[in-house]
Structure 1
Amino acid sequence: MSRILIAVGLLIAAIGLLWPWLGKLGLGRLPGDILIERGHFTFYAPIGTGIVISLALSLILWLINR
């Protein structure tokens, strides 16, 4: 269990460090992402991006456990 938590932590740190370059791929601007801007209020719900990331991680983990 501790190895899994360490791996997840390292993965999150790597994504955080690579985020400026990952943003150029178009993640965060997919169809299904909700952006509402009203005056000084901004609401962003990355539903489409979350689904794509979830599918990619599910596929990767399925291939690893296979």
Structure 2
Amino acid sequence: MNIGKLLIIIGIIFLIIGIIWTFIGRLPGDITFKKGNVTFYFPIMTSIVVSIILSLIFYILGRFR
């Protein structure tokens, strides 16, 4: 696999992640603390969903290799 194809695949993966991220946004399992003018946001559920999606994508890509 040459570097050009690898960069295209990585770009497509980032594009898919960006589209999914805009649709799922903040899920109910995400933790948000607000105290005064400080906000702490820890996206636990979003991280799990993105991890599952990436695992499926890499599994599918590995099968076609």
Q: Normalized against structure 2, the TM-score is what?
A: 0.65
Q: 2:43 aligns with which of 23, 33, 46?
A: 46
Q: Which runs of 4+ in 1 moved over 4 A?
A: none
User: Does the CA contact (< 8 Å) of 1:28 and 1:46 recur in 2?
Assistant: no
Residue in 1 that maps onto 2:53: 56
In 1, Cα distance between the equivalents of 2:46 and 2:25? 6
Percent of paired sites with the same residue: 39
In structure 1, the gaps of 5 or more residues are: none
- How far 1:56 sits from its partner (Å)? 0.4
1:1-66 matches, within 5 Å, as: 4=6, 6=7, 7-8=9-10, 10=11, 11-12=13-14, 14=15, 15=18, 22-23=21-22, 25=23, 27-66=24-63
Matched residue pairs, number? Answer: 57
**Aligned AA (2:29):** G
Tell me how large the CA RMSD over aligned residues is. 2.3
